[in-house]
Structure formats: structure tokens, C-alpha cells
A and B are shown apart, each in its own frame.
Chain A
Amino acid sequence: SYVLTQPPSLSVAPGQTATIICGGTNIGSKSVHWYQQKPGQAPVLVVFDDNDRPSGIPERFSGSNSANTATLTISRVEAGDEADYYCQVWDSNSDHQGVFGTGTTVTVL
């Protein structure tokens, strides 16, 4: 099955930019979605289809996807952005399954 790899953790100072990567073989040919999960809460979709945002998600959240790496960028990081972030793709070649990345914990210093 398809594998998505993320770095376990990332630290960033307030006001700076957080760049969260998601690696997968030829991931650039797929559509990537990103979720934010704060402690004790359900995940929330923050980016879908590589770089679209659901209503209510700040423009500070953006995505890109090329070759073997997809990226979620959080600009002007705030304390409230501290959370776990997961990437996800849809593997239509394998029983129509969703596949999640391993997750990255973002700490705001």
C-alpha cells in the first residue's frame, strides 16, 4: 500500500513560517489534503486538493505538491497553530482507501 512519511516534529517561533513536508513516491501525481489536530480534539481539514482551503481556514495556510514531496506552509505562525498535522491522499488503486501520513507535531516556541 502507499506510504506517506512526515518528520515527527517541528519547532517554530511566533511570526515565522512553518513548513511541514509529506513524502511519497510520485506524490506530485496525487491530490494531497492536510488536517490539523489539537490535543483532545478531532482533526480539522485545513487544505484539500493540494492548495485549496475550506471556508473559515485562514489564508496563512497554504499547500504545494510536486515530484515526491507535498508541503503545508503556515505563514506568520501563531500560538494557536500548535498541533499535530497529517497529510492524506486517496489511493483509488487500492480498494478505494484513504492513506494518512505519519503526522508532524508543530511546537510554537
Chain B
Amino acid sequence: QLQLQESGPGLVKPSETLSLTCTVSGGSISSSGYYWGWIRQPPGKGLEWIGSMYYNGNTYYTPSLKSRVTISVDTSKNQFSLSLRSVTAADTAVYYCARVGGTATIRWLDSWGQGSLVTVAS
């Protein structure tokens, strides 16, 4: 059974970089047809798509975060990572990693990590 697990610091200072890693087990991150994504949820609010990537390195970011986000992959470790630069309090959220299934034009999130709360504060 596929499992995803986020890891990283729970507290980040304003203006610094938020870094999270998602470790995939029970399946290969190089599986054909699957993308891998990051989603966040501020406390008490809804879900926000951050971006996604394919194992070959192709990445896609939501326009509002594009200037500050990088998603990368390490196939040897079966992991992918999120980097969010110049954070502010507005970036405080639970960050989820997930597998993106479906087809080229119809995609959904079929497996999620448990989430990692990241607080931006000095």
C-alpha cells in the first residue's frame, strides 16, 4: 500500500526558506503516469494547490506562488521536496504531499501524506 510521509522543520522564521521532504513507500516515485504534488491548508481554511512534478523533473507551479517555489525529486531515495522562499506569516499552514493520478487532462489526488504543520514566526 502506497504511503507518503512529510518531514521537515515545524517552525520557520519570516524571510527564510521553508523546506519539506516527502518520502514515498510502497511504490516507486518513477512510476509512469503519476505526478507528485504539494498542497497546503492554512489553519481553519481551505485547500490550496502549490504545485506538482513528474519524476523526470518536469514541474508545474500555481501562479501565485511560482516566484517563490521549487519542487525537486530524488529518485534514488524515492523522495520529492518542496522549497518555499521568503516566507511570511501567511505561509503558516499544514503542508500535504500527495500522489497525482489520472490522465493528461484529468488528474486527482489519490493518496495523501498525513500533513506537516509549518508555522512561520520569529
- Interface residues of chain A, those whose CB is within 8 Å of chain B, are 1, 31, 33, 35, 41-45, 48-49, 54, 86, 88, 90, 92, 94-103
Tell whether, in the assembled complex, residue A86 and residue B112 are in contact, meaning their CB atoms are under 8 Å apart: no
A97–B35 alpha-carbon span in the complex (Å): 11
Given known A1-B63, A100-B47, contact A88–B108 (CB-CB < 8 A): yes
Inter-chain contacts of A97 with B (CB < 8 A): 49, 51, 60, 62-63
Tell whether, in the assembled complex, residue B96 and residue A42 are in contact, meaning their CB atoms are under 8 Å apart: yes
Inter-chain contacts of B62 with A (CB < 8 A): 95, 97
Closest to B60 in A: A96
- A100 in complex: contacting residue of B49, B101, B112, B113, CB < 8 Å: B49
- Interface residues of chain B, those whose CB is within 8 Å of chain A, are 37, 39, 46-49, 51-52, 60-63, 66, 96, 100-102, 104-110, 112-115
Closest to B54 in A: A96
Tell whether, in the assembled complex, residue A99 and residue B49 are in contact, meaning their CB atoms are under 8 Å apart: yes
Closest to A43 in B: B112
Tell whether, in the assembled complex, residue B109 and residue A103 are in contact, meaning their CB atoms are under 8 Å apart: no
A100–B47 alpha-carbon span in the complex (Å): 6
Inter-chain contacts of B113 with A (CB < 8 A): 42
Inter-chain contacts of A44 with B (CB < 8 A): 112
27 A-B pairs within 8 Å (CB atoms) are namely: A33-B108, A35-B47, A35-B109, A41-B114, A42-B114, A42-B115, A43-B109, A44-B112, A45-B109, A49-B102, A86-B46, A88-B47, A88-B109, A90-B102, A90-B105, A92-B104, A94-B63, A95-B62, A96-B60, A97-B60, A97-B62, A98-B49, A98-B109, A99-B49, A100-B46, A103-B46, A103-B47
Binding site secondary structure of chain B: strand
A94–B66 alpha-carbon span in the complex (Å): 12
Closest to B107 in A: A90
Inter-chain contacts of B46 with A (CB < 8 A): 86, 100-103
The residue in A44, A86, A98, A99 that gathers the most chain B C-beta atoms within 10 A of its C-beta is A98
Tell whether, in the assembled complex, residue A31 and residue B114 are in contact, meaning their CB atoms are under 8 Å apart: no
Tell whether, in the assembled complex, residue A98 and residue B112 are in contact, meaning their CB atoms are under 8 Å apart: no
A94–B49 alpha-carbon span in the complex (Å): 13
